[in-house]
Every structure is written in structure tokens, then in C-alpha cells.
């Protein structure tokens, strides 16, 4: 498969509907794994709300259609209590099913790490699940390491993964 050019840019409020639809579409394949799929889907269908506490980076195809996104939350910004406040974290990295395997997820994760370095964070953190059979191996290849278990989400186990981004 030939990789088409991917453009990364900051989220705009005009992206809200497309982003919320993408959030749900990216997780549809896991609907059987979550105990309360309707409840979980309702949460992930509001991905744009993550812009209130962080920066959302969107990936666009050559035709400007949004094919991926991730939320970056900088150090000392409010985040879930299982993340230390001094960490930078990425949340809800999603890629459109038809755009997978083209480097979109890696580009978005790399953009988060660059922002963490910009913000002088020592650690980039994230939480993911073993059911994410594409995302988890990608993070491991990028140098993330398992830190500890995270609270399960609607019956699905999650772990916290970290990478040193201090440049030391």
C-alpha cells in the first residue's frame, strides 16, 4: 500500500463533528470487549471535549479529511489521578480504520513526544490495553515501557506505559 501524504495540524472547532465520529469509529472493532459498550461509546464520541484541557492534534489525508487524532496533555495540566501531574500524556490516539497501516498513529504519537519536549516534560505517559493489538506493539516499538496496571475501563484491562523524553 502506498502511503499518501499525512498533514498534522492543531484541532479547530470546525473539526468537532468529524473528530467525535472518528473517535467512535476507531473503537467500533472493540465493541464486544467492553461491558457497557453504549456507555463507553458515548464517552469516546465526545473526543473533541479533550481540547478543553489539552491540545488535540489531527491528521489529515491529502484531501483534508481527518483520518486520525490524539489529545496531548502537558505537564502540570489536569489529568487522571493515576498519572503523575509532572508527566505529559497522550490520550485517545485514534486512526480511521481505512487509514491504518500508513504511519498515522506513529506520526501522531511522535508529535505528542515533540510537544512534551517543548514543554520540558521528562516523561511521556499513556494508557492502553492489550486488546489494542496494533497500538500497543507500536508504542513498544517506539520505546514505551510498561509502568504499571491502570484501572480497568468498562471491564477491559489497561496498563500505563511511559517513555523518557527528557533528552538526557
State pLDDT tens for residues 96-130.
Answer: 999 998 999 999 999 999 999 999 999 999 999 99
Q: Which domains are delineated in the chain?
A: 7-164 (3.40.630.30)
d(CA 165, CA 154): 31
Please write the tens of the pLDDT for every residue from 30-52: 999 999 999 999 999 999 999 99
Its pTM stands at 0.94
Please count the residues of the chain.
168
Question: How many Å is the Cα radius of gyration of the chain?
Answer: 15
Amino acid at each position: 500500500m502506498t502511503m499518501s501524504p499525512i498533514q498534522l495540524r492543531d484541532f479547530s472547532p470546525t473539526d468537532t463533528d468529524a473528530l467525535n465520529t472518528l473517535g467512535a469509529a476507531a473503537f467500533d472493532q472493540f465493541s464486544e470487549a467492553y461491558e457497557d459498550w453504549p456507555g463507553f461509546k458515548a464517552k469516546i464520541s465526545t473526543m473533541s471535549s479533550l481540547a478543553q484541557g489539552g491540545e488535540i492534534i489531527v491528521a489529515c489525508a491529502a484531501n483534508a479529511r481527518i483520518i486520525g487524532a490524539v489529545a496531548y496533555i502537558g505537564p502540570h495540566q489536569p489529568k487522571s489521578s493515576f498519572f503523575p501531574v509532572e508527566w505529559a500524556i497522550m490520550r485517545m490516539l485514534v486512526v480511521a480504520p481505512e487509514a491504518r497501516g500508513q504511519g498515522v498513529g506513529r506520526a501522531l504519537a511522535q508529535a505528542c513526544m515533540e510537544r512534551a519536549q517543548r514543554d520540558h516534560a521528562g516523561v511521556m505517559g499513556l494508557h492502553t490495553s492489550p486488546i489494542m493489538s496494533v497500538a500497543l506493539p507500536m508504542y513498544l516499538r517506539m520505546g514505551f515501557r510498561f509502568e504499571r496496571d491502570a484501572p480497568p475501563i468498562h471491564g477491559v484491562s489497561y496498563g500505563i506505559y511511559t517513555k523518557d523524553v527528557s533528552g538526557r
